[in-house]
């Protein structure tokens, strides 16, 4: 993909420009982009630099603005999405990660739901531990009734999340955690065996050292009622563990977090125990804490095939300064969050482009040399981020909860931030940087990118293009073959040393994935977000061994995904044969449905949506004013949608085609822009399906926005074609 120079700003790929325009750049009331990427980075730099005045009213803010601006426009650091979207704008909420407490009372549960809505509206994701909620059928003394249990309450959180649309830029995401010793643990483990349930949640079982020990010894472990603290019953640990393995093998849910490992690294144990993480699992947090993240683009510190550690040090120090400033200029969605966040001042500096760095220095991802590079780079970032934080503390003071923390000792008298490092899934920000995501291997050497007019553009990894041209084996036909197969490993004409270097996520044995995660975790304060990819042929035993390897190597959690294991996902890049032609089923004699009025630029549009026992089967619409070309087009659209529905085409596939079609006269309805009559019909169909007849599932192999193949990354789903991300 050819890079483009934006006005007075960074060198960006075409794909980066598409994502920025769609999701990040400021727009006016007509949905027109009103700032360039350079303007965006200037806006962010200026807003974040204002924190200087808190500590020194005479500070040279312009100099700090220039340093932050250069850091971002050189794409050396890209902050998390809420910072790019909201800094210097009215909302001003800059954090991506939040954890909220859920106590054992109706009041606490619904207070948490309210706070969740406020956070999602501001662009953040939320994590919860439901381990304090009494189990299903337990006593409720105030009413003499019985509890419905944590899982039933999670469905309420899920519905609330579905309802909140994060300003049209980010979709709500949750992490739900339950301890393995909770009486409802088995029900929680199997809660997502049906892929249509709790689609706004990632689920993780909180596993303890005691459980692992009992499992390895073939013994039992105790379930404990959180209301009474008393033993509920005893279960065979190995049977429960196998249930976790089986469910993860089936569809990747639930993941696991190793709770005791997390709390061994809790920097402020005197403040409280960590019970939950953010949605992608990389950020363990105390209740009401938030954390702002930023990722260093490692490709920018490679010079002549070597890592430039002097350059990396400079980037780390400026990045720590930037992220610490974000804490002060942030507008927090809740006063409790501001209080807890500023008490510990956690930041999460991570990396992206690690796979591209390895390729640039000639190291295969699945090699001992790659593990050594992981530890070398991350240990350096860890050490320098601590030094930078200590230097800030000398000027600005230690974080308030420093007394009693793990840093409260003579050799570390200064520390500004309770944590400094996190490896996050970089999703859309790695698209902006034009590099590989997080610490993941490259997803594809070559792929087809969908563009707005429905055409497909061939994208080739820039280093692979450079090498293949230099070695004389490049051709468009070869690149298309690679795009279809998704790998170079079985293609003739490519030198073996090139194949060894360009391994994709699905080419790599899961053991190397886990070893890479563990190598980064060794030098990371918080946690590491990574997806462990398994081929479709992987067995339950493979998954079981992966969990135990991750635990034994010191990982704080694990997310696995077996290729093709979810019903509505096609993650293989290889093209499938054309489906056979089908005839629509007859229109049923009786249907039932609703009619919804939609505002359009042509007038009021009345959309009728009908269903029968087999699901939604019919859409037709009529304009409030009779006659004209518009009505004939509307009638044709409705007939074709109905024909497709009765032919077995899934509603989400139809929506991907007609939602977003734009006419010259878009209008607003209930805070959402209706772009055309076709878009209005799509929105009405989408709302109808979500009400219970058909559920739009974002967790699909095809991107719900553009139809391209999505990637699984650290519990998140990302489309590198258009920038769609379930988690941002």
3 state DSSP class of 390: helix
Domain edge (last residue) among 454, 474, 503: 503
Question: Contact at 8 Å (CB) between 596 and 577?
Answer: no
Q: Is 206 a domain residue?
A: no
How many domains does the structure of the chain reveal? 2
Domain assignment of residue 97, yes or no? no
Confidence check: pLDDT of 572 > 70: no
Q: Is the pLDDT of residue 720 over 90?
A: no
Instruction: Quote the pLDDT of residue 491.
Output: 92
Per-residue pLDDT of 510-545, as tens digits, reads 999 999 999 999 999 999 999 898 988 999 999 999
- Beta-carbon contacts of 47 under 8 Å, excluding residues fewer than 6 positions away, are 87, 88, 92, 329
CA–CA distance, 144 with 465 (Å, rounded to integer): 70
623 part of a folded domain: yes
For residue 98 the two structure tokens come to 């939040």
Mean pLDDT value of segment 690-711? 54
Residue 644 lies in a domain: yes
Residue keyed to tokens 């795009």: 483
Q: Which of 128, 115, 111 is nearest to 278 (CA)?
A: 128
Query: Count of CB atoms within 10 A of residue 657's CB?
Result: 16
Least confident of 345-354, 480-489, 555-564, 596-605: 596-605
Q: What percent of the chain stands above pLDDT 70?
A: 89
Considering 456, 473, 503, which residue would you say is the last residue of a domain? 503
* Alpha carbon distance 509, 530 (integer Å): 14
Confidence grade of residue 2 (pLDDT, cut at 50, 70, 90): very low
Asked if 352 contacts 424 with a C-beta cutoff of 8 angstroms, the reply is no
Question: Residue 513: helix, strand or coil by DSSP?
Answer: helix
- At residue 113, does pLDDT exceed 60? yes
Backbone angles phi, psi at 418, to 5 degrees: -65, -30
599 pLDDT more than 90: no
Cβ atoms of residues 351 and 296 within 8 Å: yes
Q: Which residues form the domain of 653?
A: 592-693
Of the residues 15, 80, 195, 278, only one is catalytic, namely 278
* Catalytic residue chosen out of the listed positions 76, 253, 275, 282: 282
Q: How far apart are CA 446 and CA 459, in angstroms?
A: 6
Is 101 within 8 Å of 108 (Cβ atoms)? yes
**Does any domain span residue 196?**
no
Active site residue 282: yes
Active site residue 278: yes
- Dihedral angle of Cα 709, 713, 719, 725, to the nearest 10 degrees: 140
Q: Tell which of 480, 503, 526 closes a domain.
A: 503
Those residues whose C-beta lies under 8 Å from the C-beta of residue 448, and which sit 6 or more positions away, are 456, 457, 458, 459, 483, 708
Peptide bond into 254 cis (omega under 30): yes
Options 97, 247, 280, 703, the catalytic residue: 280
Q: What is the pLDDT of residues 264-281, one digit of tens each?
A: 999 999 999 999 999 999
């Amino acid at each position: 993909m050819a890079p483009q120079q934006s006005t007075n700003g960074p060198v960006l790929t075409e794909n980066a420009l598409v994502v920025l325009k769609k999701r990040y750049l400021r727009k006016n009331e007509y949905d027109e982009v009103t700032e360039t990427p350079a303007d965006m980075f200037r806006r962010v730099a200026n807003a974040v630099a204002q924190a200087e005045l808190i500590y020194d009213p005479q500070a040279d803010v312009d100099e700090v603005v220039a340093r932050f601006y250069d850091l971002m426009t050189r794409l050396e650091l890209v902050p998390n999405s809420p910072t790019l979207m909201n800094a210097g704008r009215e909302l001003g909420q800059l954090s991506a990660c939040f954890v909220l407490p859920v106590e054992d009372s109706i009041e606490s549960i619904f207070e948490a739901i309210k706070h969740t809505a406020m956070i999602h509206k501001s662009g953040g994701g939320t994590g919860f531990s439901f381990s304090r909620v009494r189990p299903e059928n337990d006593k409720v003394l105030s009413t003499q009734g019985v509890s419905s249990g944590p899982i039933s309450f999670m469905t309420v959180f899920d519905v609330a999340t579905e309802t909140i649309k994060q300003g049209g830029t980010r979709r709500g995401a949750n992490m739900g955690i339950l301890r393995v010793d909770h009486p409802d643990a088995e029900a929680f483990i199997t809660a997502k065996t049906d892929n249509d349930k709790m689609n706004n949640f990632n689920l993780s079982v909180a596993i303890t050292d005691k459980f692992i020990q009992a499992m390895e010894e073939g013994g039992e472990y105790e379930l404990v009622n959180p209301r009474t603290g008393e033993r509920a019953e005893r279960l065979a640990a190995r049977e429960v563990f196998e249930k976790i393995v089986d469910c993860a093998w089936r569809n990747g849910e639930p993941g696991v977090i190793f709770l005791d490992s997390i709390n061994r690294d809790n920097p402020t144990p005197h403040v409280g125990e960590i019970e939950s993480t953010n949605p992608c699992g990389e950020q363990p947090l105390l209740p009401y804490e938030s954390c702002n993240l930023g990722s260093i683009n490692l490709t920018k510190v490679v010079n002549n095939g070597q890592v430039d550690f002097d350059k990396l040090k400079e980037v780390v120090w400026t990045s720590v300064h930037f992220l610490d400033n974000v804490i002060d200029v942030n507008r927090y969605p809740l006063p409790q969050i501001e209080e807890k966040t500023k008490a510990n001042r956690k930041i999460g500096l991570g990396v992206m482009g690690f796979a591209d760095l390895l390729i640039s220095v000639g190291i295969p991802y699945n090699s001992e040399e790659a593990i050594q590079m992981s530890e070398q780079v991350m240990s350096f970032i860890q050490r320098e981020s601590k030094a930078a934080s200590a230097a800030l503390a000398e000027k600005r003071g230690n974080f308030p909860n420093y007394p009693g923390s793990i840093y409260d000792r003579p050799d570390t008298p200064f520390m500004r931030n309770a944590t400094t490092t996190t490896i996050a899934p970089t999703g859309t920000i790695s698209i902006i940087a034009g590099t590989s995501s997080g610490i993941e291997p490259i997803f594809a050497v070559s792929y087809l990118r969908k563009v707005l007019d429905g055409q497909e553009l061939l994208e080739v990894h820039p280093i692979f293009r450079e090498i293949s041209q230099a070695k004389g084996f490049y051709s468009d036909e070869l690149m298309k073959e690679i795009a279809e197969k998704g790998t170079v490993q079985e293609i003739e004409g490519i030198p073996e040393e090139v194949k060894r270097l360009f391994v994709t996520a699905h080419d790599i044995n899961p053991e190397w994935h886990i070893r890479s995660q563990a190598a980064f975790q060794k030098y990371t304060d918080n946690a590491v977000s990574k997806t462990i990819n398994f081929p479709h042929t992987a067995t339950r035993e493979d998954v079981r061994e992966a969990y135990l390897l991750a635990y034994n190597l010191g990982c704080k959690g694990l997310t696995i995904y077996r290729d093709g294991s979810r019903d509505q996902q096609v993650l293989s890049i290889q093209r499938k044969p054309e489906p056979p032609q089908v005839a629509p089923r007859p229109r049923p004699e009786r249907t039932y449905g609703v009619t919804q009025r939609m505002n359009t630029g042509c007038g009021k549009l009345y959309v009728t949506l009908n269903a029968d026992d087999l699901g939604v089967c019919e859409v037709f619409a009529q304009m409030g004013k009779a006659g004209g070309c518009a009505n004939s087009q509307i009638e044709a659209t409705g007939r074709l949608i109905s024909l497709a529905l009765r032919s077995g085409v899934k509603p989400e596939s139809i929506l991907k085609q007609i939602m977003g079609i734009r006419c010259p006269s878009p209008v607003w309805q209930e805070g959402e822009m209706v772009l055309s009559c076709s878009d209005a019909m799509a929105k009405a169909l989408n709302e109808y399906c979500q009400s219970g007849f058909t559920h739009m599932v974002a967790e699909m192999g095809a991107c719900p926005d553009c139809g391209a193949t999505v990637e699984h990354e650290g519990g998140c789903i990302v489309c590198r074609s258009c920038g769609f991300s379930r988690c941002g």
